[in-house]
Structure 1
């Protein structure tokens, strides 16, 4: 299944993950990027890459300017203001406004998060495992996990109600030329700021490069079904925070400092059996991806 010559809507298009996805998709497709567009520079970058920008407001259901005849919809939009009513309206309600408007699409991909899993030590999480409030420990993401769970419920209902083939993909740690958590850690290392790690280590995740996010899309669309398909989505290699920071140190000569505290999130190791069955293994090894990230943001630090 090749994504060429298709009409694709990408929401949350000014975000860290969605912007490079939209720009790459626009090389071979008619792409509509949807957001509130409070960042004029982001809009200019997207338009220069051939993305048609459309202002929307998911909380208000203002999606009428998006093409209702889109072939595919990729929902990366997320609201995390900390206000429960507003975030529920934008995240859960926003999914339903989009699905209602695009009920004739060939497939709908909703980007969820591995933050939906109930913390449980060093469990390797499968898609059927219990859900819970993973991110409440971070006050700036107080609504995040619950709203992601609510949005999954909305996507499941919308898929059944509109008979809209849907995939719910629970994304791990995305990173690349547009930033991400490892890029934040790199900046902290440069500034000499300690990086928080949970005492119940190692804190393992599955960092996935933005190129692999794009390369996964055709198979994730092909897996869309009614009832909705749910799948973990991350890089094939499990990597801890300490491991990727140590590698960033090897690439730059910087020494990462760590602060052990229970006021940070625990790791979320994933069972990727279903993902590998649906889309295969990811192509960018995490060490290569981290090197590319350093080269993008701080080439002056790159050794060798």
Structure 2
């Protein structure tokens, strides 16, 4: 773990960035940028010895980062304009320009880590193990503008890494989950189960993913910073284990007794299985198995539903 560094984290209220910021704050000076829309969240971060500043990614004026110093040694850029309204033009503009402005502001950093997404990859077979060199198309029917914005920001990160000579890692995140935040996608599925809602699954086979537990995510960030390079290094950031979404939902049902309405559908929340070889070479292996991680996350968020007989 890093010590004595000055670190900037964006999107600091999210599932990825918040646990990283809180863990690093024990031995470093950590600043967090965000909109802090949820009541009380900014105060919670500041009680964890984090310095906060408001930042709107859509503000591309010269004043957007005026109150933020530029002498950070390390930057984790996890903030994103998701494009919930489906406006791909706005998503590309906001994410790319904000990333470029941030990199320029922090041009003297030792390392810049941009958190991208595996949703960029062009869909192949459901169980295909995607590598960093697989083709991308930024198509996601479940949230069309999201991967477009991420791909645009990747382009900005690649360009500014070269122009500024700023060592950069672009980490294409799989599914992050854990006890903090909202718990990640497995808990989204469990909430649907509790509400009696259908969970769309492929007509044949199942979607596969490479879940990354918060403990492993936090532990791997320093290694991803250390791997930063010019040109920017791209790495798939997921767990070591390939997990079927249908298998994960059935495991949630096994742990709780809550039924799951798995409904075959031509449109599902697509997920991606990663080949972990490059990431393992950079960070070492993960330490939390997916079953242990999902069970512990479920206990943190919905302890009343976990059966006493659930295996430990």
Q: In which range does the TM-score fall when normalised by the shorter chain?
A: over 0.9
Partner SS, residue 73 of structure 1: strand
Provide the TM-score with structure 2 as the length reference: 0.92
C-alpha contact (below 8 Å) 2:88/2:148 kept by paired residues: no
Match of 1:52 in 2: 51
Match of 2:103 in 1: 99
Paired residues for 1:55-204 under 5 Å: 55-61=54-60, 62-81=64-83, 82-122=86-126, 123-135=128-140, 137-138=141-142, 141-177=143-179, 178=181, 179-204=183-208
Counterparts of 1:268 and 1:50, CA distance in 2: 36
1:297 aligns with 2:297: no
Paired residues for 1:151-300 under 5 Å: 151-177=153-179, 178=181, 179-300=183-304
Partner SS, residue 52 of structure 2: strand
Coordinate RMSD, CA, aligned:
1.4
Unaligned runs of 5+ residues in structure 2 are none
1:37 aligns with 2:39: no
Counterparts of 2:204 and 2:99, CA distance in 1: 35
Report the alpha carbon displacement of residue 246 of structure 1 after superposing the two structures with TM. 1.4
Count matched residues: 300
Counterparts of 2:26 and 2:202, CA distance in 1: 41
Partner SS, residue 40 of structure 1: coil
Partner SS, residue 212 of structure 2: strand
1:160-217 deviation digits (Å, cap 9, x = unpaired): 0100000000000011122211111111112221211122422000111111111001
Unaligned runs of 5+ residues in structure 1 are none
1:26-51 deviation digits (Å, cap 9, x = unpaired): 12221111012222321121111111
C-alpha contact (below 8 Å) 2:93/2:149 kept by paired residues: no
Match of 2:15 in 1: 16
1:146-169 deviation digits (Å, cap 9, x = unpaired): 111111111100100100000000
Provide the TM-score with structure 1 as the length reference: 0.95
Report the alpha carbon displacement of residue 270 of structure 1 after superposing the two structures with TM. 1.2
C-alpha contact (below 8 Å) 1:11/1:33 kept by paired residues: yes
C-alpha contact (below 8 Å) 1:203/1:267 kept by paired residues: yes
Partner SS, residue 40 of structure 2: helix
Comparing 44-53 and 70-79, the one that deviates more: 44-53
Counterparts of 2:199 and 2:290, CA distance in 1: 19
Comparing 261-270 and 226-235, the one that deviates more: 261-270
Counterparts of 1:22 and 1:241, CA distance in 2: 29
